[in-house]
C-alpha cells in the first residue's frame, strides 16, 4: 500500500495559500483600526503548519492513485475549514469552537448559513473573511468538479471530463493547467460584478464582499437583510445575472475561450437551467399575483425572479421573507433547494443534468413498456449514455434524498422542530444557507440551535459539496483493499 505523502503535500500548499489569504482581512483590521490581530496570528499558524506539511512530505514525483484522490478531496475541505475557523476563534467576537467551525465550513462549502446575529456590528475584517472563504470555496469546487470528480466517476460527473489525461496519476499537471483558466475567468467575473454593484449604489467594501459571494453562489452578505438591505432593483438585477453566470458550467467558459462560440446556446444543461428558471419564476409570479394585489406586476416579477434564482442556485440571498408568503411558497422553495444549478459550476444541489437524466430514464422506461423489443440509444449533449451511467445518476439522487432524511431525523433528535429540522437538512446538503421557519428562515440565523446540530449540519454541508460518495467511500474497508 502506497503512502499518502502526496495528499498531505498538496494540503500543505492549500494551507499556505489559505494563510496568505488571511493577510487581506488583516489589512482591513489595520484600515478600520479594529485593534485586533487575530488574522495575522491565524495566518502565521496556518502558514507554519502548511510549510511543515510540505517539508515533511516532499517526494521526487507526486502522483495520486484513486484512493488517495478520494482521500485528498475530503481532507482538503476539512483542513481548510478547520484552519479557516481560527480567525473566528481568535477574534474579539468570542466565537465558540462549534460556531467558528460551522461558520468556516459554511463559507468554504459556499453554503451561506451563519451564526452571526448582527452583521452590521460585526468587524469588517470578519465580514471580508466570510466572503473570501466563499470565493475560495467557489474556485475549489469548480476545479474539483472539472478535474477530480469526473475521474472518480462520482454520481455521473464523468460526463463532464475534459479532453486529455484520463488517469489520476496525471491529475496534478492537468489541474494546474485547467485551474489557471478557471481562476482567470472567475476573477474577471468577480471584478465586473463588483464594478456594477458599486455603480448602482453599493459602497466599495460592500461591492467587493458581495461580488465574491455572488460569483461563488455563496450568499454571505454584510447586512442582516441581505440584498434586501439596499432596496435597489438594479442591484437585484446585477445579482441575479451574475448568480446565473456562476451557476453555468465553467467548462463552458473553457470551451468558449478555446473557440466554441455557440457553447452557451448549445449546451443541454445550460438550456435546461434557463428553462427551469423561467418556469419556476412564472409559477412563483402567478402565486404572488393571486395572493397579493397591492404591489405592482413589475415588483412581483422582480421579487419572484430574484428569490427563485437565489434559492435554486443555492446562493441564499434574500430580499423578502418568503416564509411569510404562505404554505405553497414553503413547499416550492424547499423543492428548489434540492434542484441546484449546473454541474461544474459553483452552484449546488442535485444538479440540472441529473434531473434531465432522470427524465430521460423515465421516458425510456415508458418506451420499453410500449415497445418491449425496441432498442433505445440514449444520448445527452450529443454523447452516448450507457445504462450504467444512468443507474449511477439514479443511485446518486436516491442517496441524496436518503441522506437528507437521515440528517433531518438527527436534527429532530437534537430538539429542533419539524420545519427547522427538515429545511435545515435540505439547506445543508444542498448548500443553500437560509432554511425555513422563524429560527433559520430568511430573517433568522443558526446561532440559537444546539452545538450538536451545528456539527451535524457541518457534516451535511461537506457531504453535499463533495457530491456524497467522495466522502462516504472512505468509510468502506473494501475500497482501501482494492
Give the pLDDT confidence of 350-371 residue by residue, as tens digits: 999 899 989 988 888 888 888 8
Handedness of CA 192, 264, 176, 220 (dihedral sign): positive
Q: Which three cell numbers stand for residue 228?
A: 434586501
What is the residue-averaged pLDDT of the chain? Answer: 88
Residue 169: the pLDDT is 45
DSSP-based three-state secondary structure for 448: coil
List the end-to-end C-alpha distance of the chain, in Å, as a whole number: 10
The model's pLDDT over 280-294, given as tens digits with 9 standing for 90+, comes to: 999 999 999 888 767
Lowest mean pLDDT of 141-150, 225-234, 247-256, name the range.
141-150
Maximum separation of any 2 CA atoms in the chain, in Å: 76
The model's pLDDT over 412-428, given as tens digits with 9 standing for 90+, comes to: 999 999 999 999 999 99
pLDDT band at 160; cut points 50, 70, 90: low
Residue 61: the pLDDT is 67
Mean pLDDT of 390-412: 93
Residue 48: the pLDDT is 96
Residue 104: the pLDDT is 96
| Calpha distance 430→172 (Å, rounded) | 28
Q: Which residue has the higher pLDDT, 348 or 15?
A: 15
The model's pLDDT over 168-226, given as tens digits with 9 standing for 90+, comes to: 444 445 567 777 888 899 999 999 999 999 999 999 999 999 999 999 999 999 999 99
Please name which of 206, 220, 190, 22 lies closest in space to residue 102, comparing C-alpha atoms.
220
Residues 6+ apart with CB under 8 A from 469: 152, 154, 155, 396, 399
Residue 60: the pLDDT is 67
Mean pLDDT of 232-247: 94
Mean pLDDT of 453-481: 89
The model's pLDDT over 64-86, given as tens digits with 9 standing for 90+, comes to: 777 888 888 899 999 999 999 99
pLDDT band at 58; cut points 50, 70, 90: confident
pTM of the model: 0.91
Lowest mean pLDDT of 105-109, 212-216, 263-267, 379-383, name the range.
379-383
Does residue 427 contact residue 440 with C-beta atoms inside 8 Å? yes
**Residue 30 pLDDT > 50, yes or no?**
yes
Residue 172: the pLDDT is 47
pLDDT band at 442; cut points 50, 70, 90: confident
pLDDT band at 164; cut points 50, 70, 90: very low
pLDDT band at 482; cut points 50, 70, 90: low
Residue 273: the pLDDT is 94
Amino acid at each position: 500500500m502506497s503512502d499518502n505523502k502526496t495528499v498531505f503535500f498538496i494540503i500543505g500548499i492549500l494551507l499556505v495559500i489559505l494563510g496568505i489569504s488571511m493577510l487581506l482581512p488583516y489589512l482591513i483590521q489595520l484600515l478600520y483600526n479594529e485593534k485586533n490581530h487575530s488574522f495575522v496570528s491565524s495566518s502565521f499558524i496556518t502558514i507554519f503548519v502548511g510549510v511543515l506539511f510540505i517539508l515533511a512530505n516532499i517526494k521526487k514525483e507526486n502522483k495520486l492513485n484513486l484512493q488517495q484522490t478520494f482521500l485528498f478531496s475530503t481532507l482538503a475541505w476539512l483542513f481548510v475549514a478547520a484552519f479557516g475557523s481560527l480567525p473566528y476563534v481568535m477574534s474579539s467576537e468570542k466565537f465558540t469552537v462549534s460556531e467558528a467551525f460551522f461558520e468556516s465550513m459554511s463559507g468554504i462549502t459556499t453554503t451561506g448559513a451563519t451564526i452571526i446575529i448582527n452583521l452590521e456590528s460585526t468587524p469588517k475584517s470578519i465580514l471580508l473573511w466570510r466572503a473570501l472563504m466563499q470565493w475560495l470555496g467557489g474556485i475549489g469546487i469548480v476545479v474539483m468538479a472539472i478535474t477530480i470528480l469526473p475521474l472518480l466517476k462520482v454520481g455521473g460527473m464523468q460526463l463532464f471530463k475534459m479532453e486529455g489525461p484520463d488517469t489520476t496519476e496525471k491529475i496534478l499537471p492537468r489541474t494546474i493547467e485547467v485551474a489557471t483558466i478557471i481562476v482567470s475567468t472567475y476573477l474577471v467575473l468577480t471584478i465586473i460584478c463588483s464594478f456594477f454593484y458599486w455603480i448602482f449604489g453599493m459602497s466599495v467594501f460592500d461591492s467587493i464582499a458581495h461580488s465574491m459571494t455572488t460569483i461563488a453562489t455563496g450568499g454571505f452578505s454584510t447586512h442582516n437583510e441581505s440584498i434586501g438591505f439596499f432596496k435597489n432593483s438594479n442591484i437585484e438585477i446585477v445579482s441575479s445575472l451574475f448568480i446565473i453566470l456562476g451557476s453555468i458550467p465553467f467548462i463552458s467558459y473553457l470551451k468558449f475561450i478555446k473557440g466554441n462560440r455557440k457553447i452557451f446556446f448549445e449546451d443541454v444543461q445550460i438550456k435546461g437551467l434557463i428553462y427551469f428558471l423561467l418556469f419556476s419564476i412564472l409559477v412563483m409570479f402567478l402565486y404572488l399575483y393571486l395572493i397579493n394585489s397591492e404591489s405592482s406586476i413589475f415588483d412581483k416579477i422582480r421579487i419572484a425572479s430574484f428569490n427563485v434564482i437565489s434559492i435554486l442556485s443555492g446562493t441564499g440571498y434574500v430580499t423578502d421573507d418568503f416564509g411569510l408568503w404562505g404554505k405553497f411558497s414553503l413547499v416550492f422553495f424547499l423543492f428548489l433547494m434540492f434542484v441546484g444549478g449546473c454541474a461544474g459550476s459553483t452552484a449546488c444541489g442535485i444538479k440540472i443534468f441529473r434531473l434531465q437524466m432522470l427524465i430521460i430514464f423515465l421516458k425510456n422506461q415508458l418506451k420499453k413498456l410500449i415497445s418491449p423489443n425496441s432498442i433505445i440509444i440514449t444520448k445527452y449533449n450529443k454523447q452516448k449514455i450507457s445504462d450504467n451511467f444512468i443507474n449511477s445518476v439514479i443511485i446518486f439522487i436516491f442517496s441524496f434524498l436518503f441522506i437528507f432524511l437521515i440528517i433531518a431525523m438527527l436534527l429532530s433528535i437534537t430538539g429542533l422542530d419539524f420545519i427547522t429540522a427538515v429545511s435545515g437538512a435540505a439547506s445543508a446538503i444542498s448548500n443553500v444557507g437560509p432554511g425555513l421557519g422563524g429560527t433559520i428562515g430568511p430573517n433568522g440565523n443558526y446561532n440559537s440551535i444546539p452545538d450538536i446540530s451545528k456539527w451535524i449540519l457541518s457534516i451535511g454541508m461537506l457531504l453535499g459539496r463533495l457530491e456524497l460518495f467522495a466522502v462516504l467511500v472512505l468509510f468502506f474497508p473494501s475500497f482501501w483493499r482494492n
